[in-house]
Chains A and B, each alone.
Chain A
């Protein structure tokens, strides 16, 4: 074949390649009208996915939660040595992975283990169920996922499913992980959300298409991102004895009326630990505090954590019945969302209590 012809052939085949074939939308993605987020009853927040059944914060745990009717899938975002954002709760790998089986990493044991690993190191380890009394059959089958993979799971669902990521241990992360251009953990967090089209104030049309709550125990992180993103934020509140990691403020300070008045400029709600709202004694509930009432008076939602089915987590008032617990918190205390390890049970309760079993 003469060179001229060859060149023409090559050129025209390249042209063909660049034009390519017509891109049709994937047939499975044709469901333009996704069933919207329900907003008429308290939010069912799948805490770390359905981790009552499947190891926490894995793809399968999140997919199961979506299957079971979660309104939001919740996660904790941490960062790896090389600055990747991942879904993982503890700063150490010991409790929920098989890191102990990996002799190649045995020299990484430190006071601060998570930072010792880059992305590759993480994905070598497999996730396992945290609690021995829960199903162990999936141990070692799943890997840790990234923030992006988590977002993809939510966006890929066949109904509108919200995400509820936490800016976890930001003080610690920013000390140990550095990003170029002086960017911080919070910046990378926001960037990822915006990359996938999240944004819009609470209940705006934009928000309802891609619902999100950004949560953190660190108020300064939430204030910092409030300049960059109008997505609704939730201030998490720990137990009575814990001070905030960034501002070293006590429980009593950050739950005072004056603090609520201040923080409500930046957040739409608070996420307290259940037992601080209604303190227990001898595994019985005592009188509820006025925390929910005051939060509501400041137009702040209340999403307490965490609801679990196992009787060791249920106060005796509920006669070992998780549905009694939901009933109490939803009807008597009047919370606006529930972080639960058992999203299926909460969903069933909410359906039953409204009279329709489906």
Chain B
């Protein structure tokens, strides 16, 4: 073939290549113009780390199961890798929920660091690149839960988590946490003087998250940003108007950044202050209603005071296993939901068992509407008649 022909051939094929074929929208995405909206009429069902009651936490499968089961929000903890990638992972160490111990080539990465005031030994996520973390298998944290998926799933990135939510065929909110920001910012550095919180918000904005709570923009892509570190939330309030939730730990734990006690950060004056930056708080259940001998004692006024400051209350964590249920609920997780939703009046529930919360809420809603409906009326009539049937 002559060089001219060859050159022309190559040139033309390149042109064709750059034209490319026309890009059509994926057929599977065509019908979802009107996605079913987020429900906002009852407390939020927040799938804590995905459906980790069934599937290892914070994996794609756990989140997809949660969406299947009716979660309003899928929740995640965001940490950072050695190379500054944001991942979904709860612990700063890999020991409890991965098969790191099986990977001989990483054996020399074990370290001891101070995390939030105390020393911790293990394999820290901040000492591994994303590629290295992706080579690990995730496992179920609790031995009494299903072990069959151990090692089958990988750690996912913040972006993959967002994609799962956006890919659902109904509107599913995300609920990411700025996790251990003090520790992360000490160990991981980003270019241009950026901090963990900056990268976090950037990722959200890249995918179009934004808008104040209940705005049209927000309702299309709902999000709550949560953290135990108040300064992180205050810092990002300049960067994004997305609603933020201030997490509160147990009575004896102090904030990692400002070293404040439970009593300080739950006081009226603090709530008044923080209400400028967050729309709600996320306390640990047992601080709202302290327990004794596995029985509930008198509820505190925390929820009332939060509500008085127009702060929502999303409490953690609801689990089905009887070892987590106080005797008042006689080992019935639905009795626990009933108490927290109807007696205490919380606005959201972090749960490991999103399917159970969903089922409970659906039934409760159905019965409320049925009272007024024909079915309810028929049932009442039947009861009236049957009360005479026993008479002989």
Contact B323 A321 (CB under 8 A): no
Q: Which of A46-89 contact B (CB under 8 A)?
A: 50, 52-53
For A319, A344, A351, the residue with the greatest tally of chain B CB atoms inside 10 Å of its CB is A319
User: Does residue B387 face the partner (Cβ distance < 8 Å to A)?
Assistant: yes
Contact A133 B323 (CB under 8 A): yes
Closest beta carbon of chain B to A43's beta carbon, Å = 16
- B residues near A164, Cβ cutoff 8 Å: none
On whether A345 and B388 interact (CB within 8 A), knowing A310-B322, A319-B54, A355-B375, the answer reads no
Contact B327 A53 (CB under 8 A): yes
Count class of interface residues, chain A: 35 or more
Nearest A residue (CB) for B359: A323
Cα A50 to Cα B367 with chains together (Å): 26
User: Does residue A1 face the partner (Cβ distance < 8 Å to B)?
Assistant: no
- A residues near B160, Cβ cutoff 8 Å: none
Stretch at the interface among B17-25, B162-170, B172-180, B329-337: B329-337
Nearest A residue (CB) for B354: A319
Cα A354 to Cα B375 with chains together (Å): 10
Contact B144 A312 (CB under 8 A): yes
- A residues near B391, Cβ cutoff 8 Å: 32-33
- B residues near A348, Cβ cutoff 8 Å: 332, 334-335
Contact B332 A342 (CB under 8 A): yes
Cα A49 to Cα B144 with chains together (Å): 28
Does more than half of chain A's interface fall in helix, strand or loop, or is it mixed?
loop
For B379, B388, B390, the residue with the greatest tally of chain A CB atoms inside 10 Å of its CB is B390
Cα A323 to Cα B54 with chains together (Å): 16
Contact A319 B367 (CB under 8 A): no
* Chain B 281-323 interface mask (CB, 8 Å, partner A; 1/0): 0000000000001100000000000000000000000001111
- B residues near A32, Cβ cutoff 8 Å: 391
Closest beta carbon of chain B to A139's beta carbon, Å = 13
Q: Which of B101-147 contact A (CB under 8 A)?
A: 144-146
Among B321, B322, B331, B392, point to the contact of A205 (Cβ < 8 A). B392
Contact A320 B370 (CB under 8 A): no
Closest beta carbon of chain A to B57's beta carbon, Å = 14
Cα A50 to Cα B327 with chains together (Å): 13
Among B321, B331, B364, point to the contact of A357 (Cβ < 8 A). B364
* Chain A 198-222 interface mask (CB, 8 Å, partner B; 1/0): 0000000100110000000000000
Q: B interface vs A, CB < 8 Å?
A: 51, 53-54, 144-146, 148, 293-294, 320-323, 327, 330-335, 353, 355-356, 359, 363-364, 366-368, 370-371, 375-376, 379, 386-392
The 7 closest A-B pairs by CB, nearest first: A357-B367, A309-B331, A320-B320, A352-B363, A36-B390, A310-B322, A311-B321
Q: A interface vs B, CB < 8 Å?
A: 32-36, 50, 52-53, 133-135, 137, 160, 205, 208-209, 282-283, 309-312, 316, 319-324, 342, 344-345, 348, 351-358
13 pairs from A and B in contact (CB 8 Å cutoff): A52-B330, A133-B323, A137-B327, A311-B144, A320-B320, A321-B353, A342-B330, A354-B379, A355-B375, A356-B376, A356-B379, A357-B366, A358-B367
Known: A320-B353, A348-B332, A355-B367. 16 other contacts (CB 8 A): A32-B391, A33-B387, A33-B390, A133-B323, A309-B332, A311-B322, A316-B146, A320-B145, A320-B320, A321-B355, A322-B333, A323-B359, A355-B376, A356-B367, A357-B363, A357-B368
